[in-house]
Amino acid sequence: MSKTIAINAGSSSLKWQIFAMPEETIIAKGIVERIGLPESIFTIKYGNGEVYNRVLDILDHDIAVNMLLEQLIALNIIRSFDEIKGAGHRVVAGGETFQDSIIIDQAVLEKIESLAEFAPLHNPAEAKVIRVFERLLPKTTNVAVFDTSFHTTMPEVNYLYSIPTEYYDKYKVRKYGAHGTSHRYVALRAAKMLGKPIEELKLITCHIGNGVSITAIENGKSIDTSMGFTPLAGTTMGTRSGDIDPSLLAYLMEKLEMTDMNEMIDLLNRKSGLLGISQISSDMRDLEENPDPKAQLAVQIFADRIRKYIGSYFATLNGADAIIFTAGIGENDRKMRQRIISGLSWFGCELDPQRNEAQAVETIISTEDSKVKVLLVPTDEELMIARDVEKLTK
């Protein structure tokens, strides 16, 4: 038995699990939520159902990971960092350089850092977390697992933008997508739940967290996905605008007397989405029950954009067997699932209100008669990451 830690740094969270491998039993797990927001939540579950929980302001991922490593020792979950043989790190953007998971050396880490423009809210923070590991756990093998890997099967017709092709040839400008590890995991689980080989299924997977992406899956392969060159594209998200008319950039920059394009991109990445529309919060928990009309408008726009992508993927796939909900909002927010599916009855999707009460458990939430099944599948990016560490370090 060896111990592997899987670290999943998201835009608003840091999730992690320590597994005994190859048994895949969980030794401890935890999440730091609302990173960068007031009242971040730091939780560790370990031992025989023990829980360590603190609410405090955690400014960034660097602080979160240092706090986590400190508590692993303080709570006696491990006696020394040397016990951890492998560490798997989620990295959002691998570009065309990294098609698969890889052991991290200095050249790999520098390349991950150089891909910052491909995932500005993620790669820099993820690289920092890896550097903390290199410093504090020098004997541990670090492995990078890329969100983009699963989407490398997308056909050219879907990953190319309608701009001069020379820019793809010269600069690798294309759609890369994200959340691939999650889409892959929930698709595999869905096939099990439906009792069919994944090769025979057409699936639309909806990863709805602080970042949101919708993926069309055929034959177990990603055919198209809503995120683009970076995770800014697609649907409305916690702080990201999703798709907009690019002409807006020049127009708004002039109005705002902005000269730096990075400032504009930052506005779309960090001040838009639920936060921008509601002017209240990027966190769905602060909005869902909030009677403020702006909060409710934000919630409606959020649902509408997801529904539109699902609709378009019915066209991409020429029909679908199942829609799958996962991630923070997809797993926990039944009202949001109801809002999204209620507009898709023409396609043959019908939710069972009672089954839809479920939260964070694997279950079918559509009615018996629903032509398209609707599934709730809690994602487990960390397990997929730990499996890749095991594969590469054996």
Of 60, 82, 100, 147, which one is the catalytic site residue? 147
By the rule CB under 6 A, 210 interacts with ligand UVW: yes
Q: Which of residues 211-250 bind ligand UVW (CB under 6 A)?
A: 211, 231
Interface with ligand ADP, residue 332, by CB under 6 A:
yes
Binding to ligand ADP (CB under 6 A) within 210-229 occurs at 210-211
Q: Does 12 bind ligand ADP (CB under 6 A)?
A: yes
* Residue among 209 and 317 whose Cβ is closer to ligand ADP: 209
When asked if residue 183 is in the footprint of ligand UVW (CB under 6 A), the reply is: no
Size of residue set near ligand ADP by CB under 6 A: 17
Q: How far apart are the first and last CA of the chain?
A: 12
10 touches ligand ADP (CB under 6 A): yes
Among residues 4 and 278, whose Cβ is nearest to ligand ADP?
278
Least spacing, CB of residue 293 vs Mg ion, in Å: 29
CA distances from 310 to 85, 212, 258, 303, 339 (A): 41, 12, 35, 11, 13
- Cβ atoms 223, 288 nearer than 8 A: no
* Helix%, strand%, coil% for the chain, nearest 5: 40, 25, 35
Which amino acid, 79? R
Strands 212-218 and 202-208, sheet pairing: antiparallel
Of residues 157, 161, 143, 154, the one with CA closest to residue 178: 154
Q: Which does 177 bind (CB under 5 to 8 A by kind): Mg ion, ligand ADP, ligand UVW, none?
A: none
Instruction: Please give the single-letter amino acid code of residue 235.
Output: T
Cα gap 33→15, rounded to integer Å: 8
Q: Which residues are annotated as a binding site?
A: 8, 15, 90, 207-211, 283-285, 328-332, 381
Q: Does 11 bind ligand UVW (CB under 6 A)?
A: yes
Give dist(CA 223, CA 161) in Å, integer: 15
Give the other-Cβ count within 10 Å of 369's Cβ: 8
Residue 381 and residue 228: Cα distance in Å, rounded? 20
**Residue 92 or 295 with smaller CB distance to ligand UVW:** 92
Helix ranges, 153-292 (H): 156-159, 166-171, 180-194, 247-255, 261-270, 273-278, 284-287
Task: Decide if residue 231 touches Mg ion (CB under 5 A).
Answer: no
Applying CB under 6 A, does 356 fall inside the site for ligand UVW?
no
Binding mask 83-102 vs ligand ADP (x if CB under 6 A, - otherwise)? --------------------
- Give yes or no: 147 in active site: yes
Binding partner of residue 123 among ligand ADP, Mg ion, ligand UVW, none, CB cut-off 5 to 8 Å per kind: none
| Binding-site residue positions for Mg(2+) | 8, 381
Distance CA 15, CA 12 (A): 10
- Which residue in the set 3, 5, 13, 380 belongs to the binding site for ligand ADP (CB under 6 A)? 13
Positions annotated as catalytic residues are 147
Residues found near Mg ion in the complex (CB under 5 A): 10, 209
Residues found near ligand UVW in the complex (CB under 6 A): 10-11, 92, 122, 147, 178-179, 209-211, 231
